[in-house]
Structure 1
């Protein structure tokens, strides 16, 4: 059996079964589970690892909300345009990140290629850095009592 390494799945047109399944998978009972089991068409149960169950939960939730989802392995190599689109930045900005050493890349001939895993790691790192910086700003604001200054703002017009 040949499996596509990357696949985009479009949401079905208003499938109530999908909505019910999303609700069941998101329920508290599903999160306090033992071992999830997939029952095949032949009736044979196959235990699902927790990681696969969690991915299934996310995929069903996204599809139930009417959004498409793309599944790709982490060792996928992306073009600079694909990588920039994933990060939501322009290609020239991504190239500056690559050349600045923020994200590793490989040269394939004259073209840069970026591993998806490296992009995900960059996203995680920058999100963590932003959260830490915002936390520090909030702490400084509380320490300097900045919030009381905005309780009764002075209107200028």
Structure 2
């Protein structure tokens, strides 16, 4: 497997784990259920762990797609910038989740860990969503917002309509 295959195979794992971890943590905290809360900590820890290989294979994936038609260097750059921030936030979330697992039964430290993990997981989930959106928009032009201009769309549609009619797009004399 090359970097692109690893990146694409694993890229959804930390995104899904961070969202599921946040939802389960919310339920655990609302119900004051230790088992559910600890389960969310393990999921958030796993999200942090899975983020590392996804992040490390990003550069190789960029090299594989940067010269493909329709790929925008500015979108890759935005994705990379947000991915850097996301790595930091999910790493902090994972470390705090680990401390929550280890120190759960200690009253003050456990409560601080639960609160910190909840706040960090909110931030992580948002950062993951933005990173995933920007990553997807690198190759999926249909999800790009405001990238294609009206003239680009008209040119593309006009050219496709003319091809369908069998006419040439050049002006006839």
Give the TM-score, by structure 2 length: 0.26
- Whichever structure has more helix as a proportion of its residues is 2
Which structure: greater strand fraction?
A: 1
Larger RCO, structure (CA 8 Å, separation 6 or more): 2
Scaled by the length of structure 1, the TM-score of the pair is 0.29
